[in-house]
Structure 1
Amino acid sequence: MERKVARDITEGSIWKNLLLYFFPIWFGSIFQQMYTTVDAVIVGRFVGKEALAALGGTSGLLVDLSVGFFIGASTGAGVIISHCYGAKDEKRLTYGVRTSMKLALIAGAILMFVGFFGSPIALKWMNAPEDILSAATLYLKVYFLGVIPSLLYNMGSGILRAVGDAKRPLYYLIFTTFVNIGLDILFVAVFHMGILGAALATILSQLVSAILVLKTLLTTKESYRLVLKKCEAYPEVLRQIVNVGLPAGFQNMFYTVSNIVIQAQVNLFGTDVVAAWTAISKIEGVFWLTMGAFGTAIMTFTGQNYGAGKTERVKKGVWVGVGMGIGLTAVICLPILMFAKPLMSVFSTDATVLELGLQYIYFLLPTYITYTGTELFGGVIKGKGNSFAPMVITFVSVFGIRNLWAIFAPSIWPGMNTVMLSYPISWSISSIMFAVYYGISEWKSRKK
């Protein structure tokens, strides 16, 4: 008999449930980050700083823009599935799982076509330096040819996390990360395939992870089993998935488009700055994946308890989340600041790149505490099934204010510090807006 691995987080200690659910997601995110980080380290060491700049920066942002939109949209499936699981509505849960995976397959096919043919145009629009344009184009074309398994894995793992099973996605990522490391060494260091080898290692590893997740969903005896044959249709479930998912997808896209605007500004400073910016984006990635895991934990906790009708437990979870968010930010950022130089040295031995990278880390990392409220209150709001408000807040604070600053402020105060300042400004405004909206919505709920 199959051992039950899903976790019901509608009962028991709130902080223990959040931590027990958070850590597998966090470790999984760490290993997922290692996919691209290992590529960057091996390419930077064995090929050079031009290849490192081609692999990260501009190319990475284009991947984030396309795949990130879908991952955000899959939030809709995760929220609705967590509601069904919390309410113990097995029929709608089964239909939700089947519909979500079908949407992932269709979206993957569309993204493969658009990404393959659209990448060269996007790279030129983003002012990618000429000396990295050819390598970046090759990397993106190969990556998008293998994007369907990536989307299937992300949707499948999102389903498992929505029912409280964060462990098996972690195990699969650990395994496929080592597969990726082995293939990176083989293709880049041994066969000297350069940027092509790094891209092939990534998509083959993602194929393995997709196979593992699909096998889990197809063979489980639990209520979230993936049923390929036609099952009873619930149009309102599909509508809810789309209604929650599309705004969440646009929210992710706003973040990435904003980063693309900033990357276009960074590209104007030359290859050394692009390489340094790429390296610190990998170093600081541990913070973003930590906050992402934190937001997923809060969202799933809210979703299950909201589906079970336990709104008071959700309110208590918010205050627990405040303490967790502040603590996690300190635990991640302080070690990076302390060991910034050896961390930068992992990615490049070029003296100019090292000096620039350290300057950027010391300037930007102390401001990351301003982002914590965005993830906390945004996760709670989306967990209740409202992703429209987070989309609007993100549009105003990130897509609007950050982009305007990044485009116009450097003409008044030239330099990279001015460009980077756009981040803490937008994070502060975003956190305040999310907190105010959450407070107003709670007041209206109590009044009603």
Structure 2
Amino acid sequence: MSVSPAPAYRLPQKRALVTELPGPKSQALTARRRSAVAAGVGSAVPVFAADADGGVIVDVDGNSLIDLGSGIAVTSVGASDPHVVDAVREQAGHFTHTCFMVTPYEGYVRVAEELAALTPGDHDKRTVLFNSGAEAVENAVKVARLATGKNAVVAFDHAYHGRTNLTMALTAKSLPYKKHMGPFAPEIYRMPGSYPFRDGLDGVTAAKRVISQIEVQIGADELAAIIIEPIQGEGGFIVPAKGFLPTLVDWAKANGVVFIADEVQTGFARTGQWFASNDEEVVPDIITMAKGIAGGLPLSAITGRADLLDQVHPGGLGGTYGGNPIACAGALGAIEAMRAYDLPGRATSIGDTALSRLRALQHDVSAIGDVRGRGAMIAVEFVTPGTTEPDAALAKAVAAKALEEGVILLTCGSYGNVIRLLPPLVISDELLSDGLDVLEAALRSLI
């Protein structure tokens, strides 16, 4: 049996603090930032990056931090993997932009071919490239509405789909994403999803609840699309009960409703499959992608049934920077790295390690209500012991305490009470173990 090669790290893969955090150089940059950057742009960690590789970020003061966030699931292959860096350098030496809508280039076509091969299903597919996840979602909805001639779109409780006007309407949580920023795009309807820790329903029952509400409140003949994250991201890394997604897909197919899987955060090996939809053999009509697609370069995509996407008139899809040649090169390099390192398999290994550790910790710590996830997309949900009452303060305190020791953790969840683990898929076992040690020590020091 062949063994996938390990990444060759450029920086030492270890946690090392030489100053308190934030250090003096980060503090100086924070002062400059306050007078130059809008206050509405937040940052989870008060240090400024100078270098990054594998599973570490080195700040401007020389501190080496364990990265358990991956730039929110973006740097799955690491922040400076040679496959990406070399591909980007080569492309930049030739041209940085022509606009595919003016003078096309092979890189865009190659990325589209790769996405047709990698995404679920063996049907005829078409792809369009954009810049951000929100842009991909907006265009997936556009295609669904045009192709069906219908307007209504169903999204779900705890959903996150972006910060543009339409995607804010699809997103469930008000603060910080949409408060005082309306009015929002119309014909968006919200349904309950599947949240096993909180609703206790099996997947088929949860899906039938949704279908009943759709038929009563909207009507299938008015519904253009259902859009859902196969594992909800910002809403709390909520893994739906088995059977929920296939039941919705079957109903959508029977009723001429486009099923859109938003795999912006779950895609590209993050969950142990190339896409989370693969886990239950769900085949979306359209799939949206971004984040891990291009090793840190701004790129997003929609890939879907050819009969849907090809209904859009020429010029109806696109954008000046969509599928920029350097971003396409980054995507091709990142996909090459994912294959070379078998990152779907590596994500599964990371999940096995982390879930085992965290579930053992759950037995000792009553403030942990739930440990869940798939592959390297893992969540710890904190509650008041003996209840399901969310404890956002504890989640925030754990993240802050871990940062003091040099580990970057991100919070999420509709109630702000979830710690999420999104390590680079190239993180070493030793670094992952150290990060989990720090997380555990931080939690135990606070309870």
Q: What TM-score range do you get, normalising by the shorter chain? A: 0.3 to 0.5
Question: Which one has more relative contact order, counting CA pairs under 8 Å at least 6 apart?
Answer: 1
Q: Greater helix share, 1 or 2?
A: 1
Q: Structure 2 length normalisation: TM-score?
A: 0.32
Q: Structure 1 length normalisation: TM-score?
A: 0.32
Q: Greater strand share, 1 or 2?
A: 2
